[in-house]
Amino acid sequence: MRLFNVPTAAIALSIVASICTIHSSADGLRAAAAKIDITPPRPAYLAGYSIARKSEAVHDHLSARCVVLDDGTTRIALVSCDLIGVPRFNTLLIRKQISRVPQSQVIIGGTHTHSGPDTLGMWGPTLTVSGVDKPWLEDTCTKIARMVDATADAIKPVTLRLAETSGLKRISKNIRLPQILDTHLSVLQLQDEQTKKPLVTLVNYACHPEILNNRQMTADFPHWLYEAVEAAGGGECIYFNGAQGGMVTADFDESLAPRGANWVEAERIGKQLGAAALKVIADAPLVTAPTLSFARQVFSVPLANRRYRALINMKVFSGTLLPDGSVETEASWFKIGPAEFVTIPGEALPNVGIFLRAHMQGSPRFQLGLTNDFLGYILAPEDFGVDLYGYESGQSVGPEIEPILVKNLLQMIDAKR
Ligand SMILES: [Zn+2]
């Protein structure tokens, strides 16, 4: 366990150290990966569970991790942060400071750790006072933008491997409807074309990182996922959550430790997920001449949640409403070789993810949850307001977001078949 003393110089060095400087070739897929430390330098209100949980220590440092890919025509950046989520306000703040990747093609996600700082405003000292450490968050947005630009300047020829599997045991469970559980694991690995060594392993799996709840900052199980993949030579590990809303959470033995302090099970789940990712990617063949394609749709969603509206008006939430009272958000669709990706601007319920996956045509299929926005739960209208999903319905912008999101994603999926 480390206390709050993250030296600024160490943060700067970690950027430099984790980016390989290269000379890129003109053809083929090129990429680079990097990570930076984004741990707040002082105690912070922790996001998730309840208000007024101020951190007392740092167990493991929080990171923002990125990979930039370029096929000579299209350039995409994928960024994942050990945060509860990255609202659109901050997504746009990061993007506008980026010059080396088309801003609309920068995907920014939160892993949804419940032991990281408040980024939304909902978990401050009281219900009406923001818990966001604004100087830290603004500084973090700038650092993430610099990381993306520096990584884009470091791209080099790579080879691509892809794999997917399902049926993983004792990682996740659905505590609302146990029968609706998507255990789909999708993995992308890029190797340095010259050295044949992995540069980055991207892991996509739906599960709430909420094993831990004890006032220590931690990335939760993704911390041990990163360790497992990187120790095994998988390069930089990047984790994107999936459709983990209502309520796909970690499957662990709660009797092994006091509630919120089950470090042993957090480590087991992270390492087990890492081992599963490495195992499935190990035998994957190289993808021949992969290319990139990308589409994005920006759309508005009526804001039915009166509490959210009040929090925006009180400036507890950053960002503004459109003149008609709706919120603007976005979704993306892209391909990396045969792999197909969709982005989801919040916490989609597992049935929404299963429906979308059934319509996706690529192989493997990635669903990047909590990306480019953090709009709470995304429930089908028939699920909205029912007793089973009372909590999720109260933490959602409203019943219209799911059909609007699905319509936009299916348009992009169908257009590119
Ligand atoms: Zn959640």
Phi-psi domain of 129 (left: phi exceeds 0; alpha: psi -120 through 50; beta: other) = beta
Please state, for a pLDDT cut of 90, what percent of the chain lies above it.
91
Element (H, E) at 11: helix 8-18
Residue in the block written with tokens 């083929």: 28
Between the two ends of the chain, the Cα-to-Cα distance in Å is 49
Model confidence at 1: pLDDT above 60: no
Q: Please tell me the distance between residue 124's alpha carbon and the centre of ligand 1 in angstroms.
A: 17
Q: Please tell me the distance between residue 87's alpha carbon and the centre of ligand 1 in angstroms.
A: 14
Q: Please tell me the distance between residue 194's alpha carbon and the centre of ligand 1 in angstroms.
A: 41
Model confidence at 232: pLDDT above 50: yes
Residue in the block written with tokens 């980024």: 119
Q: Please tell me the distance between residue 220's alpha carbon and the centre of ligand 1 in angstroms.
A: 14
Q: Please tell me the distance between residue 347's alpha carbon and the centre of ligand 1 in angstroms.
A: 6
DSSP 23-63: ---SSS-EEEEEEEE---SS--BBPSSSS--B--EESS--E
Query: Contact, 83 vs 117, CB < 8 A?
Result: yes
Q: Please tell me the distance between residue 159's alpha carbon and the centre of ligand 1 in angstroms.
A: 35
Q: Please tell me the distance between residue 270's alpha carbon and the centre of ligand 1 in angstroms.
A: 18
Report pLDDT for 268: 96
Q: What is the mean pLDDT of residues 316-342?
A: 95
Q: Please tell me the distance between residue 308's alpha carbon and the centre of ligand 1 in angstroms.
A: 16
Query: What's the pLDDT band for 417 if we cut at 50, 70, 90?
Result: low
Instruction: Supply 116's token pair.
Output: 């990281």
Q: Please tell me the distance between residue 48's alpha carbon and the centre of ligand 1 in angstroms.
A: 8
CA 190 to CA 343: how far, in whole Å?
Answer: 20
Report pLDDT for 60: 98
Q: Please tell me the distance between residue 1's alpha carbon and the centre of ligand 1 in angstroms.
A: 26
Instruction: Supply 170's token pair.
Output: 């004792």
Cα angle value 375/50/42 (rounded, 5°): 90
Q: Please tell me the distance between residue 70's alpha carbon and the centre of ligand 1 in angstroms.
A: 32
**124-to-40, 48, 129, 310 alpha-carbon distances in Å:** 15, 10, 6, 15
CA 79 to CA 67: how far, in whole Å?
Answer: 7
Q: Higher pLDDT residue, 226 or 10?
A: 226
Model confidence at 258: pLDDT above 80: yes
Report pLDDT for 201: 98
Phi, psi of 89 (to 5 degrees): -55, -45
DSSP 192-244: ETTT--EEEEEEE---B--SB-SSEE---HHHHHHHHHHHTT--EEEEE--S-
Least confident of 9-18, 118-127, 354-363: 9-18
Instruction: Supply 312's token pair.
Output: 């925006």
Q: Please tell me the distance between residue 112's alpha carbon and the centre of ligand 1 in angstroms.
A: 7
Query: Contact, 322 vs 328, CB < 8 A?
Result: yes
Q: Is 126 exposed, middle or buried (0-12, 13-18, 19+ CB in 10 A)?
A: exposed
Q: Please tell me the distance between residue 345's alpha carbon and the centre of ligand 1 in angstroms.
A: 12
Give the chain's length. Answer: 417
Instruction: Supply 242's token pair.
Output: 């999936």
Query: What's the pLDDT band for 27 if we cut at 50, 70, 90?
Result: low
Give the residue among 192, 272, 186 at the shortest CA–CA distance from 229.
272
Model confidence at 367: pLDDT above 70: yes
Q: Please tell me the distance between residue 415's alpha carbon and the centre of ligand 1 in angstroms.
A: 31
Q: Please tell me the distance between residue 217's alpha carbon and the centre of ligand 1 in angstroms.
A: 17
Residue in the block written with tokens 């990125």: 66
Phi, psi of 399 (to 5 degrees): -75, -10
Q: Which residues surround ligand 1, an ion (CB under 5 A)?
A: 347
Model confidence at 338: pLDDT above 60: yes
The average confidence (pLDDT) of the chain is 93
Model confidence at 81: pLDDT above 70: yes
